[in-house]
Structure 1
């Protein structure tokens, strides 16, 4: 999970400095990282609860 958060932070920083044609692909990557975090949180809840 920490790796996903680190990657998310790096991509957010890259997005801020990226040319406009790269912002959409970076946003797609960020969306997938967010979905991965959600799945991890949900699966942890299933195992712990």
Structure 2
């Protein structure tokens, strides 16, 4: 059986409970979730 995968990307800066909620809900639908964290140079950042 083929695995169902999802890709969730964003700057996540700051990371929120909403981001975590999306990952948790997606984990019940997909076999694998790939979270890509990017740096948005046009955004004032908090962490990086």
Higher strand share: 2
TM-score scaled to structure 2, two decimals? 0.40
Query: Comparing both structures, which one devotes a greater share of its residues to helix?
Result: 1
Higher relative contact order (CA 8 A, sep 6+): 2
TM-score, normalisation: structure 1? 0.40
